[in-house]
Structure 1
Amino acid sequence: MATEGSLNPEVPVSAAASSRMTMDLKPRKAVLEALEDITYGSIAGVVGKYIEYPFDTVKVRLQSQPDHLPLRYKGPLDCFRQSIRADGFLGLYRGISAPLVGAALETSSLFFFEGVGREVIYSSGLSPRGIDLPLSSLWLTGAFSGAFTSFILTPIELVKCKIQVPETEVGGKARTPLKPLQVIKDVYRHQGLRGFWHGQLGTLIREAGGCAAWFGSKETTTRLLRDFNEKRANSEEERAQMRAAPLPLWQQAVAGASAGMAYNFLFFPADTIKSRMQTTPISESTKHSTFVKEGAALWKQAGLKGFYRGCGVTVLRSAPSSAFIFMVYDGLKKYLPMQ
C-alpha cells in the first residue's frame, strides 16, 4: 500500500512532503553545480593553457630582464626568435606541467567562486532569483572570484616563473633547466612555506581587478551581441527563440576574446611587478623585496614603458585562449549537464 509522499502518481503528495523534497534537492543541486564548475573549469583551463603557454613564456622573459644589464630582448618577436634558436619550439613549453595543474585549479576556482559570489548576492536579497544579475553585480562577482583564487594561484605562478626564465643571462654561464619539484624544494629550504606566496599582492591586484573585467566584459559583450541579434529579428517569436538559444559560435568567441584582452591589459603593471619578484634567484633573500620597492625600482630603470614589457604579446595570446576557455566551459555545461 502506498503511503503519503510516495512516488505513486495516484496518491497526492502533501504540501509538507513536497517542501521536504524541494529542500532535499537544493543541496544536491548546489553540489552538482559546484562539481560542474570544478570539472568543466579544469578542462577549459587546460585547453586554454596549451594555447597560451608559449606566449606566456615570452611575456615572463620580457618582464624579468634584470636592471643591471642591457636588455636581452628587443621585443616579443626577438624573444621568440632567440628562445626557439636556443631551445627549439618545445623550449617555449618548458615547465608546462606545473602551469597545467595551475590552469586547472585557477579556471575551476574562478568559475566556482564566481558561482559562490552569485549565490551570496541572491541570498542577501540584493537581486531576486530567476532573473539575470545586473552587469554591475557580475563585475563584482568576478572581483570576488579573483581575490579568492589569487591565494591558490600565487605559489603555482611562482614555480612557473622561476622555470620560464632563460637558462643563461647575458654573458653568463648556462645552467641546467629547472624542474618543478626542484624549485619547490629550493623555495621551501631558503624561504620556508611563506616563500611560496612571494608576490601575492601583485597576484591579488591582477586577479581581483582582472577577473572583474574578465567576467564583466564577457557578459557585457554577450548582452550587446544578443541585443544586436534580437533587433534584426523579424518577429517576436523569432526574438524569443534567439533569447532561448546560445549565441552563434563566432559571437561566443568574440565575447570570450574581449574578456581575455580586458583581463590582461587593465592590470598588466601589477603582473609585471609580480613576475619580477617571483623570478628573483631562489638563493637570494626576498624578505626586503616588496611590491612597492620592486615597482619603484622598475620605474627608475625604465619608466612607464617598463611596466608594459610583454603586454602586446600577452593581450594577443589572451584573445584565442580566453575565447576557447569560455566556449569549452559553456559548451560542456550545455551539452553534458550533471544536474
Structure 2
Amino acid sequence: MSATKVSDTALAVSIPEEKQSKAIPSGTSGVKSFLSGGFGGMCLVLAGHPLDLLKVRMQTSTEYKSTLDCFRKTLAENGVRGMYCGMAAPLVGATPVFAICFWGYDMGQKIMRSAYNLSPTDKLSTNQILFAGGFSAIPTTAVMAPMERIKCTLQVGSASATGVVYKGPADAAMGIIRTGGITSLFKGTCATLLRDVPGSVAYFGAYELIKKSLTNQSAGQGSISPVAIVTAGGLAGMANWTVAIPPDVLKSRLQTAPEGRYTGVRQVFVEMMRTEGPGALFRGMGPAMLRAFPANAACFLGVEISLQLMNKAW
C-alpha cells in the first residue's frame, strides 16, 4: 500500500464525509442507485466473464483436472472467442440485475433507517448493513434466475451431456422454453436465492467494512481512495464466493441438467453427496476466486465513479 500512496492521493475520489461508509449513500435517489448499479454490473461482466465460464464448466463436468486444464481445453476447442461464450446474456442482463441489486441494497438501508428512526446522515451499524445486503438479493433473484439459466446453458454448450449448441441467448431461451415450458426459464430460482442471500450479506458487509478501514488509513478526510475502492470491492467479491460457491454448484447442476432430471435443489444435493462426496460442492472454486477480485473491483469502481458523476450532474 505504501508504494502507491502518492498516486493514491492524486487520484482520490472526492465524496462527502458522511457518505464514506456506504456504497450507495442513504441520501441517494433510487434512480441513481439503479443506474450506478447497472453500470457497475456491466464493468463486472466485461472484467470477469472468461473465468466465470471456466467456473461453470468445472462445476458441470468431471473431465477437467484443474482450472488450468479447463482453460487449456476450452481454448483449444473454442479459441479466444470461446472464452466469451455466453457473455451476451449476462452483459445484457447485467444492467437490470445489478441495477436492481444496488437499488435493493439502498431500499434495505432505508428500511433499517425507518425501523430504527435514523436520519439520512446517521451511520448504519454492521448488523443493519448486513440486513440491507441480504435484502438486496430478494428482488434481484426475480431477474437473476432466468439470466443465470440461459448463461449456464450457453456456457456448457457442447461440453454438456446433451451436446446441444445454441446460437445465442435468444436461441437458448427458446430452446429451454420448447423443452420445458416458460417455467423452465426459472428453474433454479430457489437455488439462486439460497446462494445470493448469504452471498450478498458477505458481499456488501465486507465491502463496507474493508472500504471504511482502508479509507481511514490511506485517504484524507472527505475522500475515498480508488485503491481502497478496488481493494474493498475485490475482497468483497471473494467473501461473497467463499459463502456462495456450494449453493452455486447446486444451482449450476440443476440449471444445466436435462429437463426432468431433478425435482429440485435438494435432489441435486443428495445425489451429489452420494456419488461425488462433499468435495464436489467446491468445484469451480479456483476460477470463481480468480474472477472475484478483478470483476468485483471493476464493479464497485464503476458504481462509485458513476455515482459521483451523477451527483455532480444533478
The structure 1 residue matched to 2:120, chosen from 129, 141, 163, is 129
The structure 2 residue matched to 1:243, chosen from 205, 216, 221, is 221
The structure 2 residue matched to 1:151, chosen from 138, 142, 152, is 142
Report the alpha carbon displacement of residue 110 of structure 1 after superposing the two structures with TM.
1.0
Report the alpha carbon displacement of residue 125 of structure 1 after superposing the two structures with TM.
3.0
The secondary structure found in structure 2 opposite 1:243 is coil
* Cα distance in 1, alignment partners of residues 239 and 158 from structure 2: 32
Aligned residue type for 2:279: K
Corresponding residue of 1:27: none
| 64 and 256 in structure 1: CA distance in 2 versus 1, 3 angstrom threshold | same
* Cα distance in 2, alignment partners of residues 276 and 173 from structure 1: 13
Deviations 1:117-175 (A, max 9, x none): 11112222353431111111111100000122112100000001001004146xx8965
Matched, 1:212 2:201: yes
| 252 and 292 in structure 1: CA distance in 2 versus 1, 3 angstrom threshold | same
* Cα distance in 2, alignment partners of residues 161 and 255 from structure 1: 28
Structure 2: runs of 5 or more not aligned: 1-25
Q: Within 5 Å, give how 1:77-156 maps onto structure 2.
A: 77-156=68-147
Corresponding residue of 1:234: none
* Cα distance in 1, alignment partners of residues 185 and 123 from structure 2: 39
Matched, 1:74 2:70: no
* Cα distance in 1, alignment partners of residues 218 and 83 from structure 2: 41
Report the alpha carbon displacement of residue 101 of structure 1 after superposing the two structures with TM.
1.6
The structure 1 residue matched to 2:304, chosen from 317, 330, 335, is 330
Q: Within 5 Å, give how 1:260-339 maps onto structure 2.
A: 260-281=237-258, 284-286=259-261, 288-337=262-311, 338-339=313-314
Deviations 1:298-329 (A, max 9, x none): 11122111010111210111101111111111
2:36, 2:307 within 8 Å by CA — same for their partners in 1?
yes
Aligned residue type for 2:185: F
Aligned residue type for 1:96: M
Aligned residue type for 1:271: D
The secondary structure found in structure 1 opposite 2:158 is coil
Corresponding residue of 1:222: 211
Q: Which has the higher contact order (CA 8 A, sep 6+)?
A: 2
Deviations 1:251-297 (A, max 9, x none): 2211111110011111211000000011113xx325x4311110111
* Cα distance in 2, alignment partners of residues 224 and 173 from structure 1: 49
* Cα distance in 2, alignment partners of residues 196 and 165 from structure 1: 16
The secondary structure found in structure 2 opposite 1:130 is coil
Matched, 1:256 2:252: no
Aligned residue type for 1:275: S
Corresponding residue of 1:184: 173
The structure 2 residue matched to 1:60, chosen from 31, 42, 56, is 56
TM-score (norm 2): 0.86
Report the alpha carbon displacement of residue 202 of structure 1 after superposing the two structures with TM.
1.2
Aligned residue pairs: how many? Answer: 288
Matched, 1:203 2:178: no
Aligned residue type for 1:107: F
1:210, 1:264 within 8 Å by CA — same for their partners in 2?
yes
* Cα distance in 2, alignment partners of residues 142 and 173 from structure 1: 37
* Cα distance in 2, alignment partners of residues 113 and 332 from structure 1: 18
* Cα distance in 1, alignment partners of residues 306 and 170 from structure 2: 33
* Cα distance in 2, alignment partners of residues 32 and 216 from structure 1: 19
Matched, 1:193 2:182: yes
Bigger radius of gyration, 1 or 2? 1
The structure 1 residue matched to 2:43, chosen from 33, 37, 47, is 47
TM-score (norm 1): 0.80
Aligned residue type for 1:243: Q
* Cα distance in 1, alignment partners of residues 69 and 301 from structure 2: 32
* Cα distance in 2, alignment partners of residues 37 and 209 from structure 1: 21
The secondary structure found in structure 2 opposite 1:119 is helix
CA root-mean-square deviation:
2.1
1:102, 1:157 within 8 Å by CA — same for their partners in 2?
no
Aligned residue type for 1:42: G
1:61, 1:166 within 8 Å by CA — same for their partners in 2?
no
1:111, 1:145 within 8 Å by CA — same for their partners in 2?
yes
Report the alpha carbon displacement of residue 42 of structure 1 after superposing the two structures with TM.
1.3
2:233, 2:293 within 8 Å by CA — same for their partners in 1?
yes
Structure 1: runs of 5 or more not aligned: 1-29, 66-70, 231-241
